[in-house]
Structure 1
Amino acid sequence: MDKIIVKDMMFYGYHGLYPEENKLGQRFTVSVELMTALKKAGETDDMNDSIHYGQVYQLVQKIVEGEAKNLVEAVAEDIAHQLFDQFDKLEACTVKVDKPGPPIPGYYDKVAIEITRERQDYA
């Protein structure tokens, strides 16, 4: 399967379980892999035969910078669901949400979740 990869998009959001996360916010990094057939787009050189990654960025930005959620899992699920709603050519996607420096004890760079969904998951 062909892929469009939009990697390490950065946004500022207010997602988390703790009140300080909802009040102060923090940076989130999101990457998506969009599985779709790209042969026709490669042959026609026509954007209508592909998925516009500028529109993908705007969709992800609206979600991450929008309504606060308790879990990054919910953020990723919302992104996947809306990607399928907006892009008919999308067959499957992987969404990774990184949360650098969450307010939990320990030494680490970040926590992250990654989900993979297929169009049939939302049928």
Structure 2
Amino acid sequence: MDRMVLKRIVFYGYHGVYPEENRLGQKYFVDLDLRLDLSRAALSDNVNDTVNYAEIHAVVKEIVEGPPVKLIETLTEKIASAVLGTYTSIIEAKVSVTKPNPPFDITFDGVTVELRRKRNQSGNIVPVED
């Protein structure tokens, strides 16, 4: 299966458990690793034969910059479900969301949640089992 990878897309959102997170907001970094068949697009050189990554960006932006959620686990799930639900040619998606500045006294590069989801034979979106 082919891959389309969108790396470290930056958004500004208001997610978090603490009220100051919802009030002040912060940057979030999103990575997408999408599995799909790109052979037709590779041969045709036609954007209509692929998944337009500018459109994927718009879908993700609406979620991350939209209504706040408490957990980045929830945010990550919403992104995975929206991408797979919107683009039926995508078979599997690995979505990572990094919150670089959680509001507590710790020095590190942030916390990342990574989820892998796929479309099963019935068309339902399910976790990927290793």
Normalised to the residue count of structure 1, the TM-score between the two structures is 0.95
- Identity of paired residues, percent? 37
Give the structure 2 partner of residue 34 of structure 1: 34
Of the three residues 120, 125, 128, the one matched with 1:122 is 125
Structure 2 unmatched ranges of 5 or more: none
Give the structure 2 partner of residue 79 of structure 1: 79
Give the structure 2 partner of residue 50 of structure 1: 50
Q: How big is the shift at 1:49?
A: 1.7
Distance in 2, Cα, partners of 1:109 & 1:47: 36
Distance in 2, Cα, partners of 1:30 & 1:8: 5
Q: How big is the shift at 1:87?
A: 0.7
Give the structure 1 partner of residue 101 of structure 2: 101
Q: Secondary structure at the match of 1:91?
A: strand
Normalised to the residue count of structure 2, the TM-score between the two structures is 0.90
Give the structure 1 partner of residue 7 of structure 2: 7
Cα deviations across residues 5-44 of structure 1 (Å, max 9, x unaligned)? 1111111101111111011111101010110001111011
Q: What is the CA RMSD across the aligned residues, in angstroms?
A: 1.2
Moved over 3 A (4+): none
Structure 1 unmatched ranges of 5 or more: none
Distance in 2, Cα, partners of 1:72 & 1:101: 12
Distance in 2, Cα, partners of 1:47 & 1:25: 35
Distance in 1, Cα, partners of 2:105 & 2:119: 38
Q: How big is the shift at 1:96?
A: 0.5
Q: How big is the shift at 1:104?
A: 2.1
Judging by fraction of residues, say which structure has more helix: 1
Q: How big is the shift at 1:48?
A: 2.0
Distance in 2, Cα, partners of 1:74 & 1:115: 10
Distance in 2, Cα, partners of 1:113 & 1:13: 16
